[in-house]
Amino acid sequence: MARLLHGRPPAERIKGETRARVEALQRRRVHAHLAVVSVGADPAALTYTERLTRSGHGIGVKVTTYALPRETSEAQLRAELDRVSADPAVHGVILLTPLPGALDETHVVDHIAVAKDVEGMHPSSVGWLADGRPRFMPSTAEAVIELLRSYEVPISGRHAVVIGRSTVIGRPAAYLLLREDATVTIAHKKTGDVTRFTRDADIVVVGVGSAGFLRGEMIRPGATVIDAGINVTPHGLTGDADAESVGATAGALSPVPGGLGAVTAALLLRNVVTAAEEAAP
């Protein structure tokens, strides 16, 4: 059976370090504040917001949710992001995705102030990441690297396959793996035979939003699998990897729940504190 890469140990370490920085800010009368903007948020997004709120409360970071109705127009969403970004009491702004209906995140994320773009969604942030000089990195993608490092999984020189090309997981995870000197392949919904690539991989990162998509026969024995999926099912949260079959084949697996999520939240809140430090007089 695969070794389980639990997220709690690295998350608690990060939160402990961040809590000390929060306390230093509070002595200067600065209170780190994250604004979470959502539009008709889906169950997975709501689960993430709840985790952020709990984690933020635990270390002294205020988390405020601005939940807009599903019928919100693109113009209204842009205006809300402009308004929240202009609030001097807010240090970090994130927009929960995917967006419903015809809303397109590529048309609205440039309304998040770059200095408050703690999820690395603004085109400028994406460019800096692609150039290998990131400021704020998408927290789920960064959590992939953090989890691999925490459990001393070799990255340099290894073949990593990322399944999914979203702007919050797939693409940034690929950039960060390249930054760690991995050889990276990106597979997506138009890839004809995903298994042809995953069976050659030392590391597989899956984030496609499809419960049980990755199965044991799709990976080679001993591979490390990082499951970035969050799917709300009648039986509870589940990932994009079929835990039973993948767990029987992989050498290591991040579980869902209990894997990447805690690290993701801890890293995002750390980014908020960094933004608060930079904005403080």
Question: What's the pLDDT tens digit per position in 29-73?
Answer: 999 999 999 998 777 777 888 889 999 999 999 999 999 999 999
Is there a contact between 172 and 186 (Cβ–Cβ < 8 Å)? no
pLDDT at 70: 92
Nearest CA among 110, 150, 164, 140 for reference residue 264: 140
Q: Where are the domains of the chain?
A: 3-7+26-120+262-279, 139-256
Is there a contact between 125 and 114 (Cβ–Cβ < 8 Å)? yes
pLDDT at 44: 74
Question: Do β-strands 236-238 and 231-233 pair in parallel, antiparallel, or remain unpaired?
Answer: antiparallel
- The model's pLDDT over 101-154, given as tens digits with 9 standing for 90+, comes to 888 888 899 999 999 999 999 999 999 999 988 989 999 999 999 999 999 999
Is there a contact between 153 and 224 (Cβ–Cβ < 8 Å)? yes
pLDDT at 27 over 80: yes
- The model's pLDDT over 166-199, given as tens digits with 9 standing for 90+, comes to 988 999 999 999 999 999 999 998 999 999 999 9
The rounded distance, in Å, linking the Cα atoms of 25 and 79 is 30
At the second CATH level, the architecture of 139-256 is 3-Layer(aba) Sandwich (3.40)
**Hey, do 3-7+26-120+262-279 and 139-256 end up sharing a CATH topology, with the first three levels equal?**
yes
Under CATH, what is the fold of the domain 3-7+26-120+262-279?
A: Rossmann fold (3.40.50)
Is there a contact between 228 and 169 (Cβ–Cβ < 8 Å)? yes
Q: CA neighbours within 13 Å on the CB side: how many for 268?
A: 34
Mean of per-residue pLDDT scores for the chain: 95
pLDDT at 225 over 90: yes
Secondary structure in 3-state letters for the chain: CCEECCCHHHHHHHHHHHHHHHHHHHHCCCCCEEEEEEECCCHHHHHHHHHHHHHHHHHCCEEEEEEECCCCCHHHHHHHHHHHHHCCCCCEEEECCCCCCCCCHHHCHHHCCHHHCCCCCCHHHHHHHHCCCCCCCCHHHHHHHHHHHHCCCCCCCCEEEEECCCCCCHHHHHHHHHHCCCEEEEECCCCCCHHHHHCCCCEEEECCCCCCCECHHHCCCCCEEEECCCEEECCEEECCECHHHHHHHCCEECCCCCCHHHHHHHHHHHHHHHHHHHHCC
- The model's pLDDT over 248-267, given as tens digits with 9 standing for 90+, comes to 999 999 999 999 999 999 99
